[in-house]
Amino acid sequence: MAGKTKLNPSVAQTGRRKFIATTAVLAGAALGGVAMTATAQKGAQKGVLLIASESENICATCQFWGAKRRISRDGKHVAVKSLGWCNNRKSPNFGNITGPQTGPMKVWEKWEAIGS
C-alpha cells in the first residue's frame, strides 16, 4: 500500500456528490441545447425555439414569464430566444430562471399578447 493515500470517507463522499451533481447539470444543459436546436431548425431562425401558442401551463405562454419572446405573424407560435424568469408571486418558481417549456404550472395565466 505504499504510495496510495487513503481519503477520509467524508471527503471522498463529498467529491463524488459534487461530481455527480456537476455531471447531471452538464448533461441536462447539453440535452436541453440539442432539443432547442432541433426545434429551432424547424423554425425560421437558428437559435429560436418555437412553442405552439395554444400550449398551456408552460412558461413560454404565461403572462408572468420574463424573456425575449414574440408571437409569429400567424399567431400560432411563440418564438423564444432565451431563458426567462418567473414573476408570478404565486408560483413556486417565483424569481427563478426557467426555460420556456418549464411546467406544468397550476398558477399559469395566458400571455395577453397571444390573444383569445
Instruction: Concatenate the DSSP letters of all residues of 45-81 into one string.
Output: STT-EEEETT--SSGGGBTTEESSEEE-TTSSEEEE-
Largest pairwise CA distance in the chain: 74
DSSP calls for 11-42: HHHHHHHHHHHHHHHHHHHHHHHHHHHHHHHH
Residue 62: is it exposed, middle or buried by C-beta count within 10 angstroms (0-12/13-18/19+)?
buried
Which pLDDT tens digit goes with each residue over 6-49?
655 555 566 666 667 666 655 555 555 444 444 444 545 678 89
Q: For residues 58 and 101, is the Cβ–Cβ distance under 8 A?
A: yes
**Dihedral over Cα of 94, 100, 103, 108: its sign:** positive
115: number of CA atoms within 13 Å, CB side?
9
Which pLDDT tens digit goes with each residue over 63-110?
999 999 999 999 999 999 999 999 999 999 999 999 999 999 999 999
Predicted model pTM: 0.59
Sequence spans of domains, the chain: 9-114
Kind of pairing between the strands at 84-86 and 77-80:
unpaired
